[in-house]
Structure 1
Amino acid sequence: MSEISSVDNVLSGLNIDKKKEQAEPSQELGQSAFLELMITQMENQSPLDPQDNTQFIAQLAQFSSVESLDKLNKQFDSFSSNFVANQALQASSLVGRSVTVPATQTGLSSGGIVSLSSHVPASTGDLSLNIYNESGSLVEQLSLGAQPEGEVLLRWDGMSMELNGKLLDWRSSKENGQPPGTYSFELSATNDGQQTALETALSANVNSVTVAQDGSLALNLAGIGTVNLADVKQFNE
């Protein structure tokens, strides 16, 4: 077994590709090569018109600056790669968890709950919610009554509805509630007979995490699709 390993090592050493790699010199001008070039330049300068010492010092300073910037760039690239890898590792722990993002539709899983949050810019005489199924049909319509200015939080399980932690006296129009699927939500406030649509943020389960070419992270959410990690408003328990 050791003899075979020795033969493999010899053949590996004779590998043509490796010989090419060894034969191809580096095209980069290193510090020693630069110093040799500068010394050669000094030895071969005209004694009648010698180069000013300040010019050599300027060349050294310029080379030193370029070399320092190159090292800094390499260190930053390494730091950036490690940061993205660490961020991706942390984001992978979100798979299977629920997050809240700005959206108008999301998925309702079996036995799951959809959380909807919104900001009411001014007190309203009536806050209403319409829920549509995947085909666009209106399946639930609910009047939430007068609401003051501020944040509202709704929780819907397909059968019952909570508003700001209080269970509403309302049941689904279906005997067994709405089935699992993708639903769209429209929240609107009515003042002086004028209805205004409100922006909503919905909860969704994280199915997977994607790392883009630019290093940014995207979450693939059930019923919503791909959302940038920076757009997440809340990480739910």
Structure 2
Amino acid sequence: MSTSGVNNDSGLAALAAQTASQSTKKEDASERFLKLLVTQMQNQDPLNPMDNAQVTSQMAQISTVTGIDKLNDSVTALGAQMVSQQALQGAALIGRTVLLEGNKLHLNDERVAAAGFELSSAADSVKIEVLSPAGRVIDTIDLGAQPAGRGGFEWKPAANVSTDGATFRVVAKSGATTLSATPLTADLVNAVSTGGDGLTLELLFGGPVAYNKIKAFS
């Protein structure tokens, strides 16, 4: 995992200066508006004074602008807080196993591959067919009847079976009807990063994957 150095002190100082500058501009705008309004009221024609409704309308306008500015500041601060929380949550996933859409099989140190699937409805029969890179069936796992939703399985190949590039497919049936099944591959989280697109997980085999692509983790 590669990381780039960041000067936190200079970054925070720049952010503070920018925030202070923006706040000063907003305060100056409000002050100028109030000064103009007071001057206008002081120099109004006594025989034709400003309408109360007009004064109220102008006051409401500056209040609306100020309120929008404060709302924007709050939303910006909330967004920054959410990014920080995402980073903390993502850091807790490092070293964890995750499930995401895919049909690749990856063996662990004990030469066992774990994977899963999602069924659109309950099945009378579910079989996992392990495939070679050429698409030839090299092993079959009979899981029997399975309920709708997510399920899992493990595959331990025979000693003489080549596992390089092995994939799998799910054959699920209800009676004579073939059911829709989504294969789920297992992978390991090596690192996390945050950016404009949200939280990204760096997986051992799959590389960078958006957090919202993860179906489950263990």
| Contact kept in structure 2, 1:106 and 1:223, CA below 8 Å | no
Q: 1:120 to 1:90 in 2, by over 3 A?
A: closer
- After TM superposition, list the pairs within 5 Å mapping 1:1-237 onto structure 2: 28=26, 29-111=28-110, 113-119=113-119, 121-124=121-124, 126-133=125-132, 135-138=133-136, 140-144=138-142, 146-150=144-148, 152-156=151-155, 158-159=156-157, 172=158, 174-175=159-160, 178-179=162-163, 182-190=165-173, 195-196=178-179, 198-214=181-197, 216-236=198-218
CA gap 1:194/1:225 in 2 versus in 1, 3 angstroms: farther
* Deviation, structure 1 residue 92: 1.9
Distance 1:59 1:182, change over 3 A: farther
Structure 2 counterpart SS, 1:45 = coil
The CA deviation at 1:210 is 3.0
Amino-acid identity (%): 26
Q: Deviations over 1:152-171 (max 9, x none)?
A: 42112x42xxxxxxxxxxxx
Change (3 A) 1:143 1:76: closer
Shift of 1:188: 0.5
Ranges in structure 1 where 5+ consecutive residues have no aligned partner: 1-25, 160-171
TM-superposed CA distance for 1:196, in Å, is 4.8
Would you say the 8 A contact 2:117–2:181 is kept in 1?
no
Deviation at 1:110, TM superposition (A): 3.4
Amino acid at match of 1:75: S
| 1:58 positional shift | 1.7
Gaps of at least 5 residues in structure 2 are 1-23
**Maintained 8 Å contact 1:188/1:195:** yes
Give the C-alpha shift of residue 48 in structure 1. 4.1
8 Å Cα contact 1:117/1:152 also seen in 2: yes
Shift of 1:206: 1.1
Cα deviations by residue, 1:102-160 (Å, 9 ceiling, x for unpaired): 32225334335423243372443x43222234x4443622151642544542112x42x
| Amino acid of the structure 2 residue aligned with 1:229 | Y
For residues 66-115 of structure 1, what are the alpha-carbon distances to aligned partners after superposition, in whole Å with 9 as ceiling and x for unaligned?
21221121022112101111211220221221112232225334335423
Q: How many aligned positions are there? A: 192
Distance 2:94 2:217 in 1: 12
**Over the residues paired in the alignment, what is the CA RMSD in angstroms?**
2.9
